[in-house]
Amino acid sequence: MQFSKLSTLYGRLEATASGNELRQILADFFKETYQKNPEELSILTQLSLGKISPDYISAVLGVAEKLVLKAIAKASGRSVKEITKHMHHLGDAGLVAELVLKQKAFTLVPTGDLTTDELYQTLHKIKDIEGSGSQDIKEKILISIFQKTTGQDSKYLARIILGNMRLGVADMTVLDALSICFTGDKSNKPRLERAYNVCPDIAKIAKQLADKGIEHIDEIPVKVGRPIRVMLAQRVASLSNMSEKIKSNLFQVEAKYDGERVQVHKERDGTITLYSRRMENITDQLPDLVEYLKKEIHVMAVEYILEGEIMALSEDAKIHQSFQTLMQRKRKTEIEKYIKKVPVALYVFDLLYLNGESMMNKPLIERGESIDKILYKKNRIRRIELIQTESVDEVQSFFEKMLKDGNEGVIVKSTADDSHYKAGARDWNWIKWKKDYMQNLVDSFDLVVIGAFYGKGKRTGAYGSLLCATYNHKTDTFESVSKLGTGLTDKTLEELPFILREHKVVKKPARVIINKEMTPDVWFEPFLVVEVIAAEISQGKMHCAARTPGSDRGLALRFPRFIQIRADKGPEDATSSEELLSLYEGI
């Protein structure tokens, strides 16, 4: 396919203000592609997101804005000085490329002959170039592809390279569109999502649909090395509610440590990859943990996927340290120094795959028995502390012991026959119970920042408050739920414009739902997640969370207070409107 065709799609996606239209435009594009050339669908589905790889493969091209501007200058026959001037004025390398590569007269070779396949292959090539002289090679390649584009195509090419497409499309939107394309409407999205939970690679999902059809979508197998979307815990208003929700008589109550969740993949060739809760590859940050895994997991486990919580330890490796201490290990430099300064241990709580067999559909106790078989030395790779009991009183005492030991609380898990590992689901087979809930204080929520209001008085010149949303999983929309001003420290207020700069958009993103009276001064594409506490959920006309069709009343969080930025969560991992509704209804 000619790249100009894909760039027309980008243009249409960027222009629409409606989520439904966004899905329909994508579905039509997929249908046409599939009918003309089914082989192309997979790559084009990936490219429709403006990305060349799924998120878990960090496809950083290693190309800075400066290099892109230099390549645009050379491709258009203009001076770097002139291009820099345009950049100051327009503030977006894409707009600069569109401006100067508009007229064919400025380009040195015939334009408009870039194909999507060539684009895809070339960008993958750029990603893999390393070592001395790599910048020069990258520059040459960039010049050659810019020379093959004009106008709008150049704009989107620059944005893809720099990773700032801001189309308002995410994997969930593409799943909706694939469902419409292959089955006529969105009703098969949950089925596609179940496949995606095990294989979070949109191109693979599209390929399976194109090659085998929807009937075979559940057959995409677990693959060691490819992350699985994590299973999440529900929350309840009181411990007694927990026993109503969990189906088994016997509970497995596990410690809930406040560390970082990790999914460990060991392949047959010995490669170990560590993925964060957001499925980012964090292996390079934790080479010591990789070594412990090699030494302390039995050799009979030739390939496995397990999950656990990484905890920071004191320098003598005995006492648990805080989450903040562990965060010092999130670094790209001085890794060796910090291995000594902040040692870590892994507390394993689940096993998803072992030696060629998926464990996800086995009951919890069976998965636990397999964990015990493969944990070998238990020095730095340890089983999470747990008890099994039928008594809610014992759950309560274990919980109290956990708090005394400085932990966050417990996760109570079902041991019923169907206590499977449900990838990507927030499931009633796991219920979290934390200190904050028990003390009946306030609840915490992870909200997506969708806009900002300029400050007044002391906050003049900065953002005074943020417009925040919950994620409605069913409709794939971000619904405004709260205006957040309290708790933002001077430091955060100073940082926010920088963090959000790249995500500013000129109009309401298509998947965002607000009440007009809440229109912010600045819009952001859903990206940043913030943790807030709030004392009350109310229903009214100002906000839109969990609003039923036809009603003008949505849920709102009242008296919210900013706690922290949650860089470990993506916008679709935020508190869902469904969760908020069940808390409001006191379930």
Chain residues that interact with ligand ATP, rule: CB under 6 A: 232-233, 254, 256-257, 261, 277, 309, 349, 384, 411, 432
| Four-residue CA torsion sign, 248, 253, 259, 264 | negative
Judged by DSSP in three states, 286 sits in coil
Q: Please pick, among 127, 155, 204, 256, the residue that the annotation labels catalytic.
A: 256
Distance of CA 154 to the CA centre of its chain: 28
Residue whose beta carbon is closest to ligand ATP: 261
Nearest-approach distance from CB 349 to ligand ATP, in angstroms: 4
Residue ranges with strand state E in 297-408: 304-312, 344-354, 357-358, 381-383, 386-389
Nearest-approach distance from CB 268 to ligand ATP, in angstroms: 27
Q: Say if residues 145 and 122 touch (Cβ distance below 8 Å).
A: yes
One-letter amino acid at 556 equals A
Pick 40 or 309: Cβ nearer ligand ATP: 309
Pick 167 or 279: Cβ nearer ligand ATP: 279
Phi, psi at residue 534, to the nearest 5°?
-150, 145
Nearest-approach distance from CB 520 to ligand ATP, in angstroms: 25
Pick 34 or 257: Cβ nearer ligand ATP: 257
How many C-beta neighbours within 10 Å does residue 89 have?
10
Q: How far apart are CA 296 and CA 377, in angstroms?
A: 5
Neighbouring residues of 568: CB distance < 8 A, sequence distance ≥ 6: 260, 276, 277, 278
Q: How far apart are CA 195 and CA 221, in angstroms?
A: 9
Pick 34 or 349: Cβ nearer ligand ATP: 349
Tokens read off for 289: 């943990």
How many C-beta neighbours within 10 Å does residue 25 have?
20
Nearest-approach distance from CB 532 to ligand ATP, in angstroms: 12
Pick 70 or 278: Cβ nearer ligand ATP: 278
Pick 143 or 237: Cβ nearer ligand ATP: 237
Q: Say if residues 229 and 280 touch (Cβ distance below 8 Å).
A: no
Judged by DSSP in three states, 48 sits in coil
Q: How far apart are CA 579 and CA 583, in angstroms?
A: 6
Tell me whether residue 456 is one of the annotated catalytic residues.
no
Residue 60's closest CA among 69, 72, 70, 51?
A: 51
How many C-beta neighbours within 10 Å does residue 64 have?
12
Pick 129 or 232: Cβ nearer ligand ATP: 232
**Enzyme catalytic residues:** 256
